[in-house]
Amino acid sequence: MTLLKRLIDWFDVRIGAREVVARELTGYLLPRNINTWYSMGSILLFIFAMQMVTGILLLIYYVPDADKAFKSVTFIMNEVPFGWLIRLCHAVGSNLMVLVLLFHMLSVLFMNSYKSPRELNWLTGFILFTMIQGISLTGYLLPWSQLSFWATTVATNSVGAIPAIGPYLVEFLRGGKLVGPPTLGRFFALHVVLIPTGIGALIGAHLFFLQRTGVSTPPFGQKETANQWKGDGYRYESHPEGIPFFPVYALEDIRSIFIYLACFLGVVFFFPNLLFTKEAFLPANPLQTPLHIKPEWYFLANYQTLKIFPSEFLGLAVQGIAMTFLALLPFIDRDPERHPLKRPLFMVCALGGLLLWIGLGVWGHYS
């Protein structure tokens, strides 16, 4: 203990470490009625860090060349010590990252925490959501399997439905008329450099906005549930009677992360092929189209939406409008009330939208 204390003292006299801890950890107070849903952000930070670590480890053996990519992934899965574990952690982690992100967004939505002055928190979070989808889509191609090749072919095809620029955009994304080696190079660069850098920057912005606005108080168990901020000046939402982030809420975060890890390991060790079809283990063959290529579960609703509209452009436009509406929700929804049970119309719309998304996904899966 003496050594530890001396080490802390050493830092304290140089950078004022105790002051930082008192202000940002032990003195950082959170609302008393905070709930487990607030841990989703911490779980997401943990998942993102894990995706970075497993991704870097995969880079040691992965070869981003159309002739070698599939073999290098097979080598990782079968020959590299614990390569199978690292690859499965990366693949399962990417899916669970989307799932936890959806939980995080839904909790913010239903607790109405997106309302002013937190428009920027929501907007950065929403852009993060689209970037996570983007990083998943680009990562899907990298194993260069039948599944990745044809899923990318149909995914990039749909961009062609955008009027005027569509065909050029398809060619730009693919690096040619068809999915091929240049597409792999582009998607690889996007997946390992461009999108992760963007995600890192947006996470920084998201946390900065959280730091500046303060943590929102959950609307449950409160007498006054209307939004008190009038837009007349900057205000930090403090919680003088709250609980300290460290060690109290940090322990709740850690508990949630361990529960997540138990679920995650359950999939990795007991249901490793839950997210793979047999086409995922066949090398890409541009001359042989598999019968039924389906997108990842989180794109199934988009996939089905395109099928039910008479034209692909209409399907894309409807999705674009829906996504833009969601992105701009804090600017559209100006009602100060935050308790979901006091907002029946909002609840009906939100639950209806969620059920529609799930229904379209299930329909897409079985169609």
The site for another protein (CB under 8 A) is made up of 74-75, 77-79, 84, 116, 130-131, 133-134, 137, 150-151, 153-159, 162, 169, 231, 243, 247-248, 251-252, 254-256, 258-259, 261-262, 265-266, 268-270, 272-273, 276, 278, 280-281, 289-293, 295, 299, 302-303, 305-307, 312, 315-316, 319-321, 323-324, 327-328, 331
Place of tokens 């209409």: 314
Q: Which residue number, 1 or 262, has a Cβ lying nearer to another protein? A: 262
**Kindly report the CA angle at 108 between 94 and 344, in degrees rounded to 5?**
130
Q: Which residue number, 63 or 243, has a Cβ lying nearer to another protein? A: 243
Query: 4 vs 1, 10, 24, 183, CA distance in Å?
Result: 5, 10, 21, 52
Q: Which residue number, 119 or 237, has a Cβ lying nearer to another protein? A: 119
Q: Which residue number, 15 or 259, has a Cβ lying nearer to another protein? A: 259
Query: In the beta sheet, which residues pair with residue 226?
Result: 337
Query: 262 vs 104, 170, 197, 318, 338, CA distance in Å?
Result: 19, 41, 29, 38, 33
Classify 65 as helix, strand or coil: coil
CB of 248 to another protein, least distance (A): 5
CB of 246 to another protein, least distance (A): 11
Q: Which residue number, 258 or 366, has a Cβ lying nearer to another protein? A: 258
Closest CA to 116 of 274, 336, 339: 336
Q: Which residue number, 189 or 251, has a Cβ lying nearer to another protein? A: 251
DSSP letters, 149-208, are HHHHHHHHHHHTTSTTTHHHHHHHHHTSSSSSHHHHHHHHHIIIIIHHHHHHHHHHHHHH
**Kindly report the CA angle at 358 between 357 and 360, in degrees rounded to 5?**
65
Our measurement of the distance from residue 128's CA atom to the centroid of its chain's CA atoms, rounded to an integer in Å, reads 6
Is it true that the peptide bond before 330 is cis, omega within 30 degrees of 0?
no
Whole-number Å distance between alpha carbons of 119 and 31: 20
Q: Which residue number, 12 or 37, has a Cβ lying nearer to another protein? A: 37
Query: In the beta sheet, which residues pair with residue 208?
Result: none
Q: Helix 83-110 to helix 119-141 angle, to the nearest 10 degrees?
A: 150
How many other CB atoms are found less than 10 A from the CB of residue 355? 10
Q: Which residue number, 212 or 307, has a Cβ lying nearer to another protein? A: 307
Q: Which two tokens stand for residue 209?
A: 């906005």
CB of 9 to another protein, least distance (A): 26
Q: Which two tokens stand for residue 356?
A: 């529609």
End-to-end CA distance of the chain: 63
Q: Which residue number, 148 or 256, has a Cβ lying nearer to another protein? A: 256
